[in-house]
Amino acid sequence: MKEYSLFKQLKGLCCTLFCVVFLSINCVYATSSVGLTDVQIIKKIKKLDKKIKRNPNNAKLFLERGFLKFILKDYGSALEDYNSAEELAPNNSNIFYSRGRVWFTKKNYNSAIEDFDKAIQLNPKDYKIYMSRGITKEKQDDYFGAIADYNLAIKYNKRAHDVYINRGIAKDKLKDFNGAIEDYKKAIKLCKYSPEAYYNMGLTKCKMGQFEDAIEDYTKSIELNPNFGMAYYQRGKAYIETDSLQFAKSDFQKALEIYPANKEIKNDFKNLKEKLNKMLEKEEIYY
């Protein structure tokens, strides 16, 4: 149907949109973006308002509008639209999948999993639902359950590089460092532009004490995404481990340019400068 085409298009562009909230110092989950400005989204919502007024029994219109509201972070209104859609079309797996993402973003993980479970019952071969449920389980520290879901996601889409990244993160949490690195390498093989895979691989290698190799991974991540602030920060920390303090200082400065309010980076940068100043006083600077 014509009115459903926008949702299908947006869904394809950002099937893992909700994962963007995972950007952190510890790991970066695979993600994608929607590619629309807020103004464009609001215009589309207004058009849908008129369509819904003319046709209030069309579940797909509510689903589409809820999706756009979710992108705008209007989560309460998005939930209302998904609830309306469910009343009209209780067998549409996309409704439960989409609503599950809202619950996830609101940190209501139990409700998110309930909706993902329903979506899977209705559409058991959709890999992205398993990936979404897997990420949710990780937030509940259920790493074995997450890996089981990622395995199912890969079963139904062996070329989904983002699933390998997320499974690698779960394996890292379980201290299966070699298994994590294997998954990151598979992700890179499937998608050469994968700064998240190189970044997470660098994190794992640091835990293994392989700091020079980790620096190479962070560097590759930065080459692919020059605005990857956390990659600069983590590379700086790895440089400290290799006594390359001036390089570390440069990376911390770059990280702060990108994340000026990050307290952890500020604190580490402050400690590094104090250490360098003491070394200057003793004339013991090492490069």
Pairwise CA distance, residues 134 & 152, whole Å: 10
Pairwise CA distance, residues 62 & 66, whole Å: 6
Residue that is written with structure tokens 């259920």 in the block: 142
pLDDT (0 to 100) of residue 180:
98
User: Which residues have CB under 8 Å from 7's CB, separation 6+?
Assistant: 60, 63, 64, 67, 94
H-helix or E-strand spanning residue 147:
helix 143-156
pLDDT (0 to 100) of residue 26:
58
Q: Which domains does the chain have, with CATH numbers?
A: 2-224 (1.25.40.10)
Pairwise CA distance, residues 87 & 274, whole Å: 62
For residue 221, the SS3 value is helix
pLDDT (0 to 100) of residue 20:
35
Pairwise CA distance, residues 26 & 155, whole Å: 27
Q: Could you tell me the pTM of the whole model?
A: 0.85
- The pair of structure tokens assigned to 6 is 């926008």
Q: Residues of 146-173 as b/e, b for ≥16 C-beta within 10 angstroms?
A: bbbbbebbbebbeebbbbbbbbbbbbbb
Average pLDDT per block of 10 residues along the chain, 287 residues long? 44 41 49 72 96 97 96 96 98 97 97 98 97 97 98 97 97 98 98 96 98 98 97 98 96 97 96 92 60
Query: How many Cβ atoms are within 10 Å of 242's Cβ, its own excluded?
Result: 13
pLDDT (0 to 100) of residue 283:
65
Q: Are 194 and 159 in contact (CB under 8 A)?
A: no
pLDDT (0 to 100) of residue 137:
98
pLDDT (0 to 100) of residue 284:
54
